[in-house]
Amino acid sequence: MDYSRWISLDEFTVNNLGVVKKINEVSMPIAFKESFYSASVEQNNDLNQIAYFKEIPVGVIKCRLIMPTKSDGSAATKNKSSSKILPKGIYIDSLCVLEKYRRLGIASKLLEYIRDKCSEYFLHEIVCHVWVDNKEAMQFYEKNGFKVKNALVKDYYKSYTNDLNNQTDAIYLSLTI
């Protein structure tokens, strides 16, 4: 069955940020700091979306632009032909859907939105980290064309408050657009 007509997206706002936080808290085994959420609204970032199913908030995607860095890790300088530093791609900080609403196309709709933003911004890569034991997420990303870019990132989730049973490693995935 096609549920797409019941799925809608909207930007994060101060008014729905509590809902965004709650969806992340109940859907993910890690806890993000308050600054993770407040920065989403302060930056006025259209890459962050909340998904509604029949007007019920059920999923979120929080992303940011990947800015280029020099080999020493410092920020890249402005492009000579323009006054801006051009981003390299989009990084998915968080993509989750409440368990009861999975397999209805909601995560796919959120990811499709980010793919469209890549085209709009002339970007060619979407990347993310996935907890090594999150097989469902790995299957979702691989089904959507993501490839393993770095087989294992040791202790990626170590600095987060988590319920990961001491398994804090992640897989780094990439999608070329």
Average pLDDT of the chain to the nearest whole number: 88
Range of the domain at 156: 4-68+87-176
CATH classification at residue 20? 3.40.630.30
Could you read off the pLDDT of 128-175 as tens digits, one per residue? 999 998 999 999 999 999 999 877 899 888 877 666 677 789 999 999
Question: What is the rounded CA–CA span in Å between residue 123 and residue 87?
Answer: 8
Q: Residue 127: inside a domain, yes or no?
A: yes
What's the pLDDT tens digit per position in 8-62?
A: 999 999 999 999 999 999 998 888 888 888 888 877 688 999 999 999 999 999 9
Into how many domains does the chain fold? 1
pTM above 0.75, yes or no: yes
Q: Is residue 151 part of a domain?
A: yes
Would residue 24 count as lying in a domain?
yes
pLDDT class of 76 with cuts at 50, 70, 90: low
Q: Is 164 a member of any domain? A: yes
78 lies in some domain = no
Q: Is residue 82 part of a domain?
A: no
With respect to residue 79, please indicate whether it lies within any of the assigned structural domains: no
Q: Is residue 25 part of a domain?
A: yes
Can you give the pLDDT at residue 175?
97
